[in-house]
Amino acid sequence: MADERRRRLRAGLEAGLVVAPGIYDMISAKVADRIGFAALYMTGYGVAASHLGLPDAGIATFSDMVSRVRVMADGISAPLIADADTGYGGLLNVAHTIQGYEKAGAAALQLEDQEFPKKCGHEAGKRCISKSDMIAKIKVAVEARTDPDFVIIARTDARAEFGLEDAIARGQAYAGAGADVIFVEAPQTLAEMERINQAIKKPTMANMVEGGKTPILSSRELARIGYRLAIYPSAPFLAATAAFERVYRSIRETGVAEGPLYPFYDMGRLMGFDEVRAFEKRHAES
């Protein structure tokens, strides 16, 4: 099944823009999967926050993340794109990460060129490793995968530290090293986004972070510019957190949970209680 989802993702990237909303736990994963997307994006920020209650600052480990990849990939039908931060160490760690994510069922993995410990792509103070060190990581990643359809996304955070042209040069070098998709993080204007797509000849990825440094564009506009993959990592957990705060405040202040609330029995169906009841009925009859 994982092989088929990887082929689907590759075909989507070749055909046009793939829109992948963020997921961070199995409720968000099941809702997004039921709505129907060409891919889903497991956000490192969201997983660190929801699974560990910690910031996206290089604290989540390979073990933390690969366990989430396995659960999410098993629980959805869409191809899963998974954040793998810096690869969790040196070259041997990168190879182990690729193999672990692939075995866990991911269709794609994102590696970035930040120093450890990394920071969220739209936070200040990011520092990058050398271009040659990241090229070595990408070459190891390509060598380590066993399924050629497993997509390797190379991210550069150099825009903030060295400027746009350096970030583009890194993206071009990472493409030459074998990365399938190039992700220049945090361009700050529409003109910068257009320049990235003019200069980089492999599929590119856009990161739509509400309140971040990059302009928020429609999927139609992103496709026009030339992007082949667009992720929306933060909107779901920002929306959920706003809803949590509202309902908890209403319970504290009035004793009544104020909505909008997802219907209780619809939640049961989403989680699979219909299958549980069908199983119990079938075995009771037998």
Sequential pLDDT tens for the chain (286 residues):
779 999 999 999 999 999 999 999 999 999 999 999 999 999 999 999 999 999 888 888 999 999 999 999 999 999 999 999 999 999 999 999 999 999 999 999 999 999 877 666 566 667 899 999 999 999 999 999 999 999 999 999 999 889 999 999 999 999 999 999 999 999 999 999 999 999 999 999 999 999 889 999 999 999 999 999 999 999 999 999 999 999 999 999 999 999 899 999 999 999 989 888 999 888 987 6
Q: Does the CA dihedral 130-143-69-13 come out positive or negative?
A: positive
* DSSP conformational letter for 118: P
Q: What is the pTM of this model?
A: 0.93
Long-range contacts of 189-192 (CB under 8 A, 24+ apart): 189/215, 190/215, 190/217, 190/225, 192/159, 192/164
- CB neighbour list of residue 228: distance below 8 Å, 6 or more residues apart: 13, 16, 17, 18, 181, 203, 204, 205
Predicted pLDDT of residue 1: 75
Both structure tokens of 271: 């989680």
Give the sheet arrangement for strand 108-112, strand by strand: 181-184, 151-156, 108-112, 80-83, 40-42, 18-23, 229-232, 205-207
Rounded Cα–Cα distance for residues 187 and 127 (Å): 16
Q: For the chain, give every domain's residue range.
A: 2-234, 242-285
Topology (CATH) of 2-234: TIM Barrel (3.20.20)
Q: What letter does residue 186 receive in the DSSP assignment?
A: -
How many whole angstroms separate alpha carbon 89 and alpha carbon 96?
10
pLDDT computed for residue 19 by the predictor: 98
The answer to whether 111 touches 153, Cβ cutoff 8 Å, is yes
Which of 42, 52, 36, 5 is closest to 236 using CA atoms?
42
Looking up tokens 């074998």 gives 178
Residues contacting 130, CB < 8 A, separation 6+: none
pLDDT at 125: 65
Can you give the pLDDT at residue 13? 97
Q: Which two tokens stand for residue 234?
A: 């933060």
In single-letter form, the type of residue at position 13 comes to: L
